Structure formats: structure tokens, C-alpha cells
Chain A
Amino acid sequence: MLKGIPLDSPLYEVDEERGIEYRNCEAITGFFTIKNDVEDLLPEGLKPYSKPAQGGIWISHYSFSTVGEYHEYLTVIQVEDEQGDMGYYIPYIYVTNDSALAAGRELAGAPKKLANIGLVKEFDVVMGYLERPAGKRLVTFVMKPNTRAMGEMIDFILPKPTYLYSVRHLPPIKGKGGVTQLVKWYADIDFHTDPKGERVIFMGPGNITYDSPSVIDPVHKVEIDAFMTAIYFQFDMKLGFVDILREY
């Protein structure tokens, strides 16, 4: 077991073999080309997968996980690592639960912060939002899931496993004990299937707005150029760890 602190009552306990397990989740993701140069957002060892660079936003609700129930927001940049694998680097990630926050930061280096995140359905629209603090709306993502996504391209956008990258950083104290590492981890997504055996993935028109940019949480630094696709899906998931790719 990978355990956090306090040692006698850890905030998280993760089975290294099984990873962090999730059940009955739903998410919306938007995929787009990025207007600005992302080189300065990427750590050494990763390069943009495409030119122009592509990225995405993921807003989800996990109704059950082994680190608890929570909402999550991610900004990702599609990258290629030195092993030639495609994956997503996470410059910004927010959660609504302290156990997920601690596990993500300590084990994978995911730069998680707590925020107010929602994934709501109203009328014919699914809306995800990120606020920090509550009321300061950083991102709104709306989409209308009106068409089944049956094509194989989804499996290239979110392959199994989908590699994720983050920089795990522990500042040194008086020059000792510091760690800065590029961590490769993964999400193994199992899309739910309906009674007909079709995957529960829907697509439709959508858009993302950076409503009220904040210098404290600069998610708007990943500028959206051409919006490619928006999908809504229901799924189970496992998060696990691949390797430490680099020590800086």
C-alpha cells in the first residue's frame, strides 16, 4: 500500500498493483488546437505531439473512487515523450477532495489544487465549470451531447491506457531532500456500454470560455484556437503509475 500522512491515519491508501479505482463516473472533454506557444509550459523530456499543439479540458464527476467521491478539472497538452508514446501533460488540475489532492500530488506530482468544480445537466446542455474561489468563474464548458460517437477516433484521443505526465516536486530544505521528477502515469478508461453493447459516448456542439482570467490560477494560458470536438461519456477507470522518466 502506498500511504500518505499521518502515518497512523493516512489521508490516502493506494494499492500499488490495483492503482486508484473509479466506478460510475461521467465526464465531458473538449479537444482543441492551442493558439499560443506551449514550449514554456512543458517540462524537459516532453514535446508537443502536433504542430500546432493540441490540448483539452476534462471536467468529471467520480461518484465512487478509492480516494473518495469528487469532481475534477484538468487542462492537458497533448505531448510525445522520449519513448515515443503519445499522452497528455497536465499543467493545471483541480479537485474537490483532499484525499484525491494529496494522492495526486504526492504520488504522481499532479499539481492539484482545491477548487469549486461542477458538472451539471440542465435542459439539453451539459455544463462543466471551474471556480476558484467559489464565484470566480475561470472556465465554463458547455456541450450538447446529441450524437453517438461510434468512430474509432475516440480510441486514439483516449487510448487504453492514456498516458499522463506531471512533474513531482518536493522543495528542498536547506538544500536537502528536494525532488523534481517527470512522472509518467496512466488512466485506464473503460467506457460504459448500454444494453445494446454500444459505448456510452456522445458528442455534439460545444465550447469553452475562460470567463474571468486569474493570475493566481492561469488556466487561460492554454489558449483555445480551433475547437475540434466535445464528448460526454460514462465510464469506470483505474489510475496507475508507469515510471519516473526524469530526475531534474
Chain B
Amino acid sequence: MAVVFPSKEWMEELHKKVNADEEYKKVAANWEGDYLCVVELDEEALKDFQNPKVLKGFLGMLDSIPKEKREKFKGTPSEKLLEALGLSLDANLSEVNVEEIAKKIAENPDKILEAAKGATLNIWMDFWHGEFRNIEVAAPGEHEDAKFKLIGPYAVFKQLVMGKADAITLVVSGKLKLQGDMGYMMRNMATVKKFTDLMASIPIES
């Protein structure tokens, strides 16, 4: 079943798909550690958010962050983006009128893009000996001590998710920045490749 990216449904599908894959379990048997993906919201993101379905997916992801943790957004570019969209951190982001907000983005793309400068969507994923233990949306500053941090623009992450480029190519080319224990990464390239192949195999609703 096709899902929207970004969305909670995509996260759930990825979690399910990886944990159901016997080959992944085998290849990743020695892997220990977590990833923080820092998705920088760019022009491509703002273009996609003009589609109410995609915007709903994005806001649904943010809404999965418990309200007590949303304090961490205060003063960050992500809060500024929400403000520019007429939203507050306390709002129930899954129930806002996405058609109206999408229209607002379409009418003022440059203004919203300016407000979005520096805003990120942080996704934390935890893996342990072949098991994909957890995936959640992280608040700013959360999970900064993750074993690996993968940073890059939304447009590049989208290429990865849609299978248009693989993670190793994107990291070697420098389009995605990888921070962490590179020696460990070098030993586990097959695990990374298998995971991203599974990610790319999820059909994305356009």
C-alpha cells in the first residue's frame, strides 16, 4: 500500500517492513546503535507541502511529539515555520485545516521559505542486532548523542526514500552528511544498504 512521505504512516510502514525482513535480520545481526536523521526543510519541502496530503503527513509527524516535549521547539526555526503557517506548538496539529494552510503556502512560497530557513524534521531510529526497535519524531536537541547523525536537505532525503539514489552514493557524494563512527559504518555498509533498499521499496503516494 502506498503511503505519503513524510508521514506517521510512512514511519510505521518502514518499521513493519524492516522487522519483517529475514535477510535484514541476518545482515544486521551485529549492528548496535541509533540514527538521528536531520531533514532540512527546503524549497522542495515547501513545494510538497502545497499538497494537503503531504502537509497533513508532515504535521501529523510533528503532532506525534508529546506536548510536554514541544517546549524544545521554542525559539527554533521550526517554531518560526509553524508561526508563519499560523500554527502554534500547543495546537492539535493533526486536526488543523490542511487545505487552508497548503493554500497559504502556495500563495506566499518565498515568505514561508524564508521563515522555514533552518527548520528541520528530526527522525530518530534505533536498531539493535537485526531488530528495528524504534522510530519516532524527535524534538530539537533530542537524541543528539545518537551513534550516527545523517543531515541533509529534504529534497535529498526524498531521493533516498523514493529509491532514486542510495544512501552510500549520497554520503560519498557529500549530498548527505554523516557524522559518527565512520570505522563502524565502514564495517556495516551492507547493513546500511539493506536498510535503505527496504526503505526505497515502500511505494510513496504522490
A residues near B (Cβ < 8 Å) are 33, 49-52, 54, 78, 86, 147-154, 156-157, 203, 225-226, 228-229, 231
Contact = CB atoms under 8 A, between A and B. Distances in A.
A152 B186 contact: no
A200 to B, nearest CB: 14
A150 B194 CA distance: 23
Interface stretch (B50-58, B70-78, B172-180): B172-180
Nearest to B170: A151
A33 B187 CA distance: 10
Q: Which bucket holds chain B's interface residue count? A: 20 to 34
Interface of B: 27, 30, 168-169, 171-178, 182-183, 185-190, 193-194
Contact of B182 (A51, A148, A156, A225): A156
Given A51-B30, A153-B178, A229 B172 contact: yes
A27 B83 CA distance: 52
Nearest to B176: A151
Given A51-B30, A156-B183, A228-B168, A151 B177 contact: yes
A206 to B, nearest CB: 11
A151 B187 CA distance: 18
A33 B189 contact: yes
Nearest to A51: B30
Contacts of B168: 153, 228-229
B183 A148 contact: no
A231 B172 contact: yes
A49 B172 contact: no
